[in-house]
Structure 1
Amino acid sequence: MQPNLTPIQPELGPKKFYISVHKKFWISHLVSIGWLIFSVYLSIPWLRDFSSISSFPVALIVICGIAYIPGYMNAFLVISLLLDRQPKISNRFPKDPVTLLIAAFNEEDSIFNTLKYVANQDYLKKMHVIVINNNSSDNTDSEIKRASKEFGLTIKILHEAKPGKFHALNKGLTYVTTPYVITLDADTLLHPSAVRFLVSKIKNSPNNVCAVAGSMLVRNSRETLWTRIQEWDYFLGIASIKRLQGLYQGTLVAQGAFSLYKTECVRAVHGWPNAIGEDIVLTWRLLQKNWKVYFEPLAIAFTDTPTSLKQFAKQRSRWARGMIEGLTEIKPWHQPQLFTKYLTGINFIMPYLDLVYTLCWIPGLILAFFGIYWVVGLMTLLVLPLTFISYGLLYFYQKHFVFNQLNLRVRKNPLGFILFLFFYQLIMSPVSVWGYFQEFFKRERVW
């Protein structure tokens, strides 16, 4: 996606009718359960044949992991997206004081550009900017000072010798005096209206909303084949999950790369935790306090994604570890809200799905090329229509209600989309499984 960074005002039409969130939740469940029953009925011959070469329990465990549960989850996602309606924004130009926290570790190549886009925000109130240099050994400080001078930014530079992003953010938090705090990665570029939309979202939300996650997109999508693939993951995959979670008022990750929090809420849970997925655990702690976390699709930031398979595996295995950290600390059944119980409960079964996919589906796919359809067969294709529908719906929404509103255009990337659709999960599931094992055996954490 090519950013055309021009400040705008969205024009969202009035709602014609209203369906409560609870009704949307149960309607989506009823439809997805119906799809599940239909899938089980069609799969009886497959289940019988697979049982003949293994056993019924083994066949059921495998088929549940590669067909029944993914099909049910995709159906729930599709219906939820169809029912989702973003509320009209009434206060488009808030003037509340806000602080930006930027943790920086050896960011001399990117911090100047990041601060340039901070300076270009159309937010009407002057923002407080705090950059925490987390024991950098390069010229990060010099680049911050250069940006401050050239762009007229008032920047407080702090130094944190203890390695770890959570140490840096917590030090910055002690200096925050505004009611809202935004975390921003040092290599992330903001759309000129990004901060305004985040603050607008929380100002137009109920008082029990404690955080709003921004929308992350890929900046370096033309750098390598891996970044081309990840462009679609962020644009369709991650965005669809964020919209689903935002609809049910429990966005599970207010990502540290670009999110807004109520300062008092972050302090109430003692700041960012000592975790490899500090933003995941922080978000779940906030949800456990019976607060809600929203998502704002119009608050867009562009980030650099890993350019090689090795870097990609390192990042996504770290994300998988972060999810396990969150589940270890806060079980789904300990979450106070029904929606959050369900959403975190889905994460609870993700290791099972990734294990089955890695150990059964991938070998089964290889066997299918030789005409052996024990694991992968025609039934598994039932998941594809739902996948196409969900991605089609989100593409339409992203293009017409997000990109057009922000004067952005969707860049053509057919090769990346094909590889994302058919091969991305072949990499993602094994990488996630590796992350689960890393956390299980408590391997060394790396920022």
Structure 2
Amino acid sequence: MPVRRPRHFYVPVRAKFALVLVVALLWTVLSVVLSMRWLHDLSQPLGLALALLVIAFIAYVPGFMNAFLIGSILADRRPPRRALAAYPDICVLVACYNEGNNIAETLASFARQDYAGDVEVVVIDDGSTDDSLVIAQAAARIHTRPGLQIRVLAQPRNGGKSKALNRGLRETARELVITVDGDCCLRADALRKLVGRYLSDPPNTVAVAGAVLVANSRENLLTRAQEWDYFHGIAAVKRVQSMYHGTLVAQGAFSLYTRTALNQAGGWPECVGEDIVLSWALLKTGARIGYCEDACLFTKVPPTLRQFSRQRQRWSRGLMEAFARHGGLLLKPRMSTLFIWWNLLFLPLDLIYTLAFIPGLVLALFGVYWIAGPMTLLVLPLAMIWNLVIFRVQAMMFRREGLKVRRNFTGFLFYSLAYTMILQPVCVLGYAKEALGLRKTWGTK
């Protein structure tokens, strides 16, 4: 007689979503109850309405978000990849602007891929003013071989990342299109795992975001902190969003798209947040965007405060562009709609943190605890639990990949205690520039 294998208990994703949502809401209710004394004290100088607004975006909303993320990560079970007899041919678009120090390493990483199908890499130099074009052409000649074709296109002048990618799209024909930035280096199995995840995901999947990690974390304290931001924050949020069938950003640095979906969306839109605006256009059709946590690519993050500020302002402006073009997603009945509302709350969150919480910390140094005081500590346990849970999940993925989590305690301290004091004011500056219609540029260099 055949041996009967035990069946694993299966909880549908919608049931997980509902359960985690209820738990997060209950935590928020508890937070409200515990904050009554804080609300009373802060109402004396600010009035009830303003005090409630400040506390809501310092404690209630972040507490709900952390509780929802913790519950979702604990409930997440990555679906296994299907065994594939053959891998489809793919094309990779590499938009490049002034990457003379990086583009050769990026192209060398394609030569190390273990992908079983044919790979066509198209570098689009977007009018670089350095030697990027010459270096890319030389690297293309070195690394082109059977199964890997690398060619370089030159834009006559700098026109922005969208134009560069759209030209690459026009000059290729394969159905699966992957984008990689010109300052990145792929792990040897990155393409295989990204394509394998796409082919194993639900049939309405039209894009899959890869895992972007930090390559230059050893440069200074700022890059050390960004290592934790990418490892903890960005990766975890994408993982949760994909669990509910709606990763909000298939980032340009490393993502897979179907050509059919790209053509239906009209390619990459001309804006500074082309990846988020494109992703929301795809979600608007009802399609699914996934995430592949173990298809790893390493990127060089901005090492200076000026470059970091320019990058994060661009991301903030991209978010506002996405709402301007696809704000109707707020009313779309699907699980991922929660994260659209979540993103809408980023503006008041950043504003309150910048204009209220940071000044409140200064007041606390002088013994005035209206905004930042003993009651504020109620937010910390959940944040600590969140960091511990996602560290465990990410560390397990690293071990499976043969990677080690680097010892970076000083970066973690800075990330935990001071990083948001830089990040959120910078985001507010980006919102202000977008609201004022100031000039936009691509890049951070």
Q: TM-score range by the shorter chain?
A: over 0.9
2:399 to 400, 404, 423: 404
1:238 to 234, 237, 243: 234
1:425 to 415, 420, 439: 420
**Aligned-partner SS, 2:88:** coil
Tell whether 2:295 aligns with 1:303.
no
- The correspondence of residues 261-300 of structure 1 with structure 2, limited to 5 A, is 261-300=257-296
Kindly provide the amino acid, as one letter, of the partner of residue 256 in structure 1: G
**Contact 2:178 2:255 (C-alpha < 8 Å) held by counterparts:** yes
Structure 1 residue runs of 5 or longer lacking an equivalent are: 1-13
1:69 to 50, 57, 61: 61
The Cα RMSD (Å) is 1.4
Question: In structure 2, how many angstroms separate the alpha carbons of the residues matched to 1:102 and 1:77?
Answer: 33
Q: Percent identity?
A: 42
Question: In structure 2, how many angstroms separate the alpha carbons of the residues matched to 1:420 and 1:380?
Answer: 18
Closer, same or farther: CA 335–119 of 1 in aligned 2, 3 Å: farther
Closer, same or farther: CA 332–67 of 1 in aligned 2, 3 Å: farther
Tell me which stretches of 4 or more aligned residues in structure 1 moved more than 4 Å.
332-335
Q: Which residue of 1 aligns with 2:216?
A: 220
Closer, same or farther: CA 132–362 of 1 in aligned 2, 3 Å: same
**Aligned-partner SS, 1:19:** coil
> Offset of 1:378 from its aligned partner?
2.1
Q: Which residue of 2 aligns with 1:366?
A: 362
Tell whether 2:374 aligns with 1:378.
yes
Q: Which residue of 2 aligns with 1:184?
A: 180
Moved more, 421-430 or 338-347: 338-347
**Aligned-partner SS, 1:404:** helix
Number of residue pairs matched by the alignment: 433
Tell whether 2:431 aligns with 1:436.
yes
Moved more, 236-245 or 379-388: 379-388
Structure 2 residue runs of 5 or longer lacking an equivalent are: 1-5
> Offset of 1:335 from its aligned partner?
5.6
Moved more, 185-194 or 135-144: 135-144
> Offset of 1:138 from its aligned partner?
2.6
2:98 to 106, 113, 120: 106
**Contact 1:81 1:390 (C-alpha < 8 Å) held by counterparts:** no
Question: In structure 1, how many angstroms separate the alpha carbons of the residues matched to 2:426 and 2:176?
Answer: 35
Q: Which residue of 2 aligns with 1:7?
A: none
Question: In structure 2, how many angstroms separate the alpha carbons of the residues matched to 1:152 and 1:64?
Answer: 56
**Aligned-partner SS, 1:264:** helix
Moved more, 294-303 or 404-413: 404-413
**Contact 2:96 2:125 (C-alpha < 8 Å) held by counterparts:** yes
Q: Which residue of 1 aligns with 2:3?
A: none
Question: In structure 1, how many angstroms separate the alpha carbons of the residues matched to 2:126 and 2:333?
Answer: 36
Q: Which residue of 1 aligns with 2:76?
A: 84
> Offset of 1:141 from its aligned partner?
2.5
The normalised TM-score by structure 2 is 0.95
Q: Which residue of 2 aligns with 1:3?
A: none
Q: Which residue of 1 aligns with 2:341?
A: 345
> Offset of 1:91 from its aligned partner?
2.4
Question: In structure 2, how many angstroms separate the alpha carbons of the residues matched to 1:377 and 1:338?
Answer: 39
**Aligned-partner SS, 2:388:** helix
Q: Which residue of 2 aligns with 1:97?
A: 89
**Aligned-partner SS, 2:320:** helix
Question: In structure 2, how many angstroms separate the alpha carbons of the residues matched to 1:16 and 1:304?
Answer: 42
> Offset of 1:332 from its aligned partner?
5.0
> Offset of 1:17 from its aligned partner?
2.5
Q: Which residue of 2 aligns with 1:253?
A: 249
Larger RCO, structures 1/2 (Cα 8 Å, 6+ apart):
1
Question: In structure 2, how many angstroms separate the alpha carbons of the residues matched to 1:392 and 1:285?
Answer: 34
Kindly provide the amino acid, as one letter, of the partner of residue 67 in structure 2: A
Question: In structure 1, how many angstroms separate the alpha carbons of the residues matched to 2:97 and 2:36?
Answer: 55
Kindly provide the amino acid, as one letter, of the partner of residue 66 in structure 2: N
Q: Which residue of 1 aligns with 2:126?
A: 134
> Offset of 1:382 from its aligned partner?
1.8
